[in-house]
Structures are given as C-alpha cells and as structure tokens.
Amino acid sequence: MEKIEILVVDDEREMLVSYQKILTRANYRVQTVDTGEQALEILRQDNRVSLVISDLKMPGMDGLTLLSRIKEQFPHLPVIMVTGYGTLELGVKAVKNGAFDFIEKPFSSKKLLASVESALKQLFPDAEEGSFVTQDKMQGKSSAMQEVFDMIHKVSHGDANVLITGESGVGKELVARSIHKNSLRRNHPIIPINCGALPDQLFESELFGYEKGAFTGAFQAKPGLMELANGGMLFLDEICEMPQNLQVKMLRVLEDHKIRRIGGQKEIPVNIRVVSATNRDVELSLKKGCLREDFFYRINTIQIHIPPLRKRKEDIPILINHFLMEFEQKYNRNISGIEPHALHAIQ
C-alpha cells in the first residue's frame, strides 16, 4: 500500500532534517521546503500530500498566512503548526483559524507522531489506529512484503476465509489484525485462539461454550469464543494443531453458521469471519492426516504467505529503524541510529 505523504515547512535546515528523520522512520513519505510559497506550489502540483506541518514564525510568508491560504485552496487538508518559545498565543490563534493542532518546540518524536496520527484519523475518519498497514507494526519495502500488503488490501473488504502461512515470528497475527482493522467488521471484536496451547479436553468448551450443568463444575452457562466473536473475526493460530474431532465441528459451523453449546439443545446463529494461521508445511499436514482436507478447503479460500526475514534482507534496516524509534519513545532517549558495521553483521 502507498505511503502517506507529509509536507513539512520550516526555514531552519536543522529542523527539516529532524522532521525528515522522525517521519521517515515512522514510514511516512516526507517532502520538505523552507518557505510558504514553495509549500503552496507543491500542494498545487502534488495531490498526494495528506498533511502539512508548518512552523509559525518564518521570513516572508509566515505560518498563519500559509494556513489561511491552505484553508482557502485545500479546505480538507489538515495542518499542524509548530510554535517556538514565547509564541504560544500564536499557536492558539492558529487552531482558531483552522489548524488541526499546534505543538511547541522543543518537542519529542512521540509528541509529533501522536499529533500526526490524530490528524490523519481526522482526514480518514473510517480508519482506526493501525489501519494504514504500512504505518502499523508491519514494515517492509521488499517486493515480497509489498505483495503481502497488497493481499491485505484486497481481502480486507471481503468476507472470505483466509489462511496465513509462514515460519514462527514472521508476523502472521499482525497480518490477521491488519485485515480485521481494514475490514467492515473492525468495530466488532477479533478473538484470537492458539490451537496448540489448549488441552484437548478444554478446547471444545472454550470454542463452543457450555450450558449450566453440562459437566462437573459447570455451575453457570458460559458463551464460547465463537459467540464472543460474533460480528467480528475468529483468529485460529496454529490451525494444524486443532484436534480432528473439532475440525469436523468447525467445518459444520463454517457451512451452517450456527453453533450449539456443550449440553445445549438450542442452535445459536454466529456471523464470524475465520482467519487461520500455521507455521507447518500444509501439504505435509494433509498427507499425515493432521489436517482434514474438507476442513482445509473451507479455511483456505485465500492464502497469504509471509516469507522469513532471511529471504528479504532489504527489510532489515527498516525494521531496525522501526524498533529504534519504539525504544526512543519507550525510554525517552535519543538514539541516532545503528553503526554501519553492526548493520552489516545483522544482514
């Protein structure tokens, strides 16, 4: 998916370099100019700009004048104004004149990115945090990851069941959550369940729920995870670990869209989308009988494969920058980057 483009206006070169560093690390596309006149010229020529960040005090056209021109010519384009010491009143005035927000220098990368994310949510009101998958925790510029992003975009607006394959640690759950966040079901829950983490005797009761008195210790009725996921998504991680008898029951749910609690007589309708994941060789699991063919064809309407990092080494610098930025925010420290020899060793 295409990166979100941000235009930054500031007459101080050091500030432009700082903006470029912070926003590029967050995986935004950034254009920088040092005058308001240049900013307006770019906006007239480039309709991909989604957000403007501008300093208030600049020679020539100042920030308030630029804001006024932008609001006249591009009324829906959000603008964040940046104020220096002693110009707080101007920041307040800018907001009254239509700026989305103002932030004071010196500011942290965390503060800047929080303001940027809030502004973009205003521009894209149907989106929620993380719905711009390339700005989420998923990172990558390799052709393989671009294919993954494209598949997420394609499958998000449908309701077909999806199977995500790939080795442990490649980000299968992140893909599932990105599909959900971009889907029409995003206002309903996504319920994850690790099929390899539950004992067989507990699996059915967790998945289907049970009625009071269904077995010893069932003192009150309990809805299962499929009921809790109603309207949303059920994420079945490590699907090849699901017991055979439950694969049969799940197959029936996928066909009839109804469940019956343990000990219950009533059929309960459920409207769920099922996204599954596995780190196993699917063909081998089918041959060994660990995975039923009829169940597999139901959950494998669309398949997304995530290659391991060793096969997309060009993504390593992007991931390093992403985690460095997270550490900067978490520990409130300024980390300049990674030494070239260290990057070479990792790659």
Query: How is residue 87 written in tokens?
Result: 């110009």
For position 170, what pLDDT does the model report?
Answer: 92
Q: CATH top-level class for 5-123?
A: alpha beta
For position 119, what pLDDT does the model report?
Answer: 83
For position 52, what pLDDT does the model report?
Answer: 96
Closest CA to 35 of 55, 18, 49: 55
CB 79 within 8 A of CB 70: yes
In this prediction, the residues of the chain whose per-residue pLDDT falls under 70 are: 1-2, 47, 85-88, 122-137
Domain ranges of the chain: 5-123, 139-309, 313-346
Q: Helix count (H) and strand count (E) of the chain?
A: 14, 14
Q: How many angstroms separate the CA atoms of 28 and 33, rounded? A: 16
Q: Report the predicted TM-score, pTM, of the whole model to 2 decimal places.
A: 0.62
For position 347, what pLDDT does the model report?
Answer: 75
Q: How many angstroms separate the CA atoms of 78 and 67, rounded? A: 10
For position 65, what pLDDT does the model report?
Answer: 95
What are the residues facing 192 on neighbouring strands? 235
For 69-126, write each residue's pLDDT tens digit: 998 888 778 899 998 755 667 877 888 888 888 888 888 888 899 889 878 876 655 4
CATH 3.40.50.300 applies to domain 139-309: yes
Other beta carbons within 10 Å of 2: 10
Closest CA to 135 of 162, 157, 116: 116
Closest CA to 195 of 155, 253, 244, 159: 244
CB 337 within 8 A of CB 324: yes
Q: How many CA atoms lie within 13 A of 324 on its CB side?
A: 20
For position 130, what pLDDT does the model report?
Answer: 37
Query: How is residue 229 written in tokens?
Result: 């996921």
Dump the DSSP string for 24-60: HHTT-EEEEESSHHHHHHHHHH-TTEEEEEEES--SS
For position 273, what pLDDT does the model report?
Answer: 94
Same fold yes or no, 5-123 and 139-309: yes
Quick check: helix, strand or coil at residue 27?
Answer: coil
Q: How many angstroms separate the CA atoms of 182 and 152, rounded? A: 8
For position 2, what pLDDT does the model report?
Answer: 59
Closest CA to 165 of 303, 286, 295, 312: 303
Query: Mean pLDDT score of the chain, rounded to an integer?
Result: 87
For the CA atoms of 197, 200, 206, 211, what is the dihedral angle to 10 degrees?
-160
